[in-house]
Structures are given as C-alpha cells and as structure tokens.
Amino acid sequence: MASFIRPVLCASLLWACGGAEESTSTKSGACTEDGRFVESNWMECATKNEALLSLVSPGEPGAEGLRELRYSGTSGQEEIVEVHMDMDMSMSMGPMGKVEMPLPQMRLTMNTKILSEDTDPNIRSSMEITGGDIGEATGALVGQEAEIRAVLQGTVGIRGETTMTRTGRVLDGGFDVPDGAPEEVKQQLKSMKQSIAQTSVPLPEEPVGPGAVWETLIRTLDEQTGMDLVVHNAVELVSWDGEKAILSYKLTQKLAPDSKLDAGGLPPGAEMEVKAFESGGSGEITLEKGLLNPRESKGDVQLSAQLLVKAQGQEMEMEMETNVRVHLFHKDEVAPVQNEDAADSEAGVLED
C-alpha cells in the first residue's frame, strides 16, 4: 500500500512536472495544437523524467506589464517546510466487501539550504528530512500507528542535493541513504531518485501576466510499483499579490497500456493486470519573491483502479480508490542571510 503513496504525493504537489523542454512532433502527429498538448498523443509525446512545457497564453499585461517568474534565493539561505498528507483509501477484493482505510495524517519536516553562489546561473540546494510523525489512526488501521510511524521516522536523516535552472528545470540530483535505513525506505529512495527531475514547478521562459496558461507533460516509471504514468498539468497564473504569484493547476494522470503493477505483498509468480484506471486532481501554489520553495502549496488528487490479480491459475478482481490531500507550507520564517546587500540585490520570483 505504501508503495502507491509516492507517485500520488508527487502529483498532488505538482512535483510530477519538473523540467522545461520544448515539445516536438511524433509519428502520430504534432504534440501541440494552439499551444495545448494533443491528448491523443500524450503517451507518445511525453518524455520520461523530463517534462515538456508549452505556453498557451502569456496572459494580460495589467498595470505593471508582463513579468518573469523565476526561482531565487541567496547563497546560504535556509528554509524549513512542513508537508501534511491526508489519504483516504478503500479496497475490495473478490467476494469481500469494500474496506475503508483512512490513513492517519502523515507529517514531514524538511530543511533546505541554497549551496550555490548568487552569481551562479543555476541554483544548487540541499534538502534534508528532519522530522516525521503521524496523527491518530481510525478505522481498519487502528493499532497500526507504530508501524506507520516507524516508516515515516525511518526517513529522518535522508539528505539530497539538487541543481536546477531558475525556471525550475532540474539538471541533477540524488539522495543519500542513512545508515540503518529500513529496506522499504531504501526502495522509496530509489524511486525518488528516478524522479528527481520532477521536484519543482516548471515556469515558462517568457514574461507572463494574470491569466497566463501553460501546460506540462511528463512520463514517469516507478520501478517499485511498475506504474508507467503520463502526467499532464494545466497551470494558470491567477494573480499577483504583491511579491507573490498565485498559481492554480489541474492535473490528469494516464497509465500506459499493458502496465503490470506490483502493489506489494503479492505471492511469487502473481501478476496484476489493470482493467481500468482514472486519476486527476487540482490545487493551488503560492510562489514568493526570495523563496526557493513555494510559500504554500495545496493539492487534492483522486485515483481509482480496477485490477485483476492472477495467481496459480486463478483470477480475482480488485478495486482500489484513493483520495490524497497534501498541504506544504513554510514552518518558520526564512532564515536570515549574513550578506544583506546580496539579499537586497537578488532578483526574486517576480522580475520586472
């Protein structure tokens, strides 16, 4: 069950749309039409682990004109963000009725620090998970709090580094595994490393204004679960709010044909065939001048799947539904930097 959490979590934070490459054409035709990705060609056009970005409309200039959206920050700047995830899950298998499994709220604290110099064209930063805990369990998971808490706390101490452009295209990155980490944590890190190029909200190169719309398209393969997904996002710049940019997004996820999933816990030789799959969601992200991470991000993603499990010559139907709500926010104010002059001169998220 836990193996399905990471792909949904990434999508609900808009992490499954990193990069900023231009779209191309395929044998089936153009990838875009009037700036929008052609849905019938999503699977063929999407690039694994590096998103395509297409600007549909630059929006309205307004009184201040069109402005650039950029990630920024000052060398040595530290930020602390908290991620809260609520997940409702239900499953039914064969003659069994539907079993509701609301997970306790999961909470992670992450520290980030900018390692690159202010004059560097790209931003290199570190990220470390410094805290993990859960809320109260209910329903079928009552009594399993200790096990779930142990998995989360096993991520504490995990550290990674990322280099990305100021428009959010991740160039390089990886994670260090702490000594004594549980095997499940190691497997999750392996999956996360494969998706390190998806850890930022991609921004258009062109100046934009309120009403600007751009789309991203990416294909990801999670080796642990076998989930080969195409993730499409339509992002809109809703408004400027002083030094903040308010973005909204709507996402759609499609599973590649003939995908073979492994939900974990299946007997040797068993296979899981996907009969039907639907997933989508929406959310809002607030970027702020001088912050590397979003000031706040809220996402809600739904997923439903009809599966067929084959084992030892027998078949059993299974249905699964999940609803994930993720809230990311700054836990504390941005740590002050020593060089105030550098901080004052640094271009922020909103550039004239």
The DSSP secondary structure of 294-342, one letter per residue, reads -SEEEEEEEEEEEEEEEETTEEEEEEEEEEEEEEEEESSPPPPPS-HHH
When pLDDT is cut at 50, 70 and 90, the band that residue 177 belongs to is low
**Residue ranges per structural domain of the chain:** 2-351
Question: ∠ CA(341), CA(117), CA(345), 5° rounding?
Answer: 25
When pLDDT is cut at 50, 70 and 90, the band that residue 302 belongs to is very high
Does position 342 have pLDDT exceeding 50, yes or no? Answer: no
Yes or no: say if 280 and 252 are a contact pair by the CB < 8 Å rule.
yes
Instruction: Name the most confidently modeled range: 151-160, 243-252, 342-351.
Output: 243-252
Yes or no: say if 297 and 328 are a contact pair by the CB < 8 Å rule.
yes
Yes or no: say if 191 and 224 are a contact pair by the CB < 8 Å rule.
yes
Query: Tens of pLDDT along 100-146?
Result: 878 888 888 999 999 999 999 999 999 998 998 888 877 667 777 78
Yes or no: say if 285 and 43 are a contact pair by the CB < 8 Å rule.
no
User: What phi and psi, each to the nearest 5 degrees, are found at residue 40?
Assistant: -65, -15
Q: Return d(Cα 287, Cα 208) in angstroms, integer.
A: 14
Q: Tell me the percentage of the chain whose pLDDT exceeds 70.
A: 75
Residue type, 240: W
Does position 194 have pLDDT exceeding 60, yes or no? Answer: no
Does position 212 have pLDDT exceeding 80, yes or no? Answer: yes
Yes or no: say if 43 and 219 are a contact pair by the CB < 8 Å rule.
yes
Question: Residue 36: its pLDDT value, please?
Answer: 95
Mean pLDDT of 322-327: 91
Does position 19 have pLDDT exceeding 60, yes or no? Answer: no
Query: Tens of pLDDT along 92-102?
Result: 887 778 888 78
